Amino acid sequence: MASKRTAVTAVLVLGGVLGLLAAQTAEAPKPLVRKDLLVLGTGEPPALIRDIFRPKTTAAAPSVRRAAGPVTAGPAVAPAETAPTFSLSISYLGSIKDAGGRTIGLVMRGGKTLDVAEGDEIAPGYKVVGVTAEAIVVEGPNGERRTFTKQGDRP
């Protein structure tokens, strides 16, 4: 019985040794990750280009095609001065009242939600002159006023 046990143990050890030798000499498959291409320890990650969770709000500028040939300077005519137009684009989402009873409007501009009250400046030159539950009134840089009504659920 002891000799049988010794023979079985010897066969198992011999099989294990032969398997280990075969595994070391066999050609290893190519790894999935090429470690030679990894860049480690470069420091800070690069700056973000844009927030991938917010849609782009500006359209790309149209490309201008010019005729081939020499470039000639046009006549030096000064462009006519025009009054700035009201170019603010916002959506009025609604309003809330603060502890003092003042109405604060919630406005969406450029994908961001802003809270504004009467007298606040939404953008340079654009000032809030009135906030109600149904609309917000904004005054532009040339004194022009525009009313934005509440967006969303309507009865």
Structural domain spans, the chain = 91-149
Give the count of alpha carbons within 13 A of 80, CB side only.
Answer: 2
The pLDDT score that the predictor gives to residue 66 is 63
| C-alpha distance from residue 148 to each of 93, 102, 128, 136, 140 (Å) | 10, 19, 11, 5, 13
Return the structure tokens found at 98.
Answer: 């603060």
Residues 116, 104: Cα–Cα separation, whole Å: 6
Q: Which residue has the tokens 């939404």?
A: 122
pLDDT at 40 over 80: no
Return the structure tokens found at 57.
Answer: 């709000």
Segment among 72-81, 117-126, 145-154 with least mean pLDDT:
72-81
The second-level CATH assignment, the architecture, of 91-149 is Roll (2.30)
pLDDT at 136 over 90: yes
pLDDT at 83 over 60: no
Reported confidence tier of residue 19, pLDDT bands at 50, 70, 90: confident
pLDDT at 23 over 80: no
Segment among 21-25, 42-46, 73-77 with least mean pLDDT:
73-77
Reported confidence tier of residue 14, pLDDT bands at 50, 70, 90: confident
pLDDT at 38 over 80: no
Report which of residues 29 and 46 the model is more confident about. Answer: 29
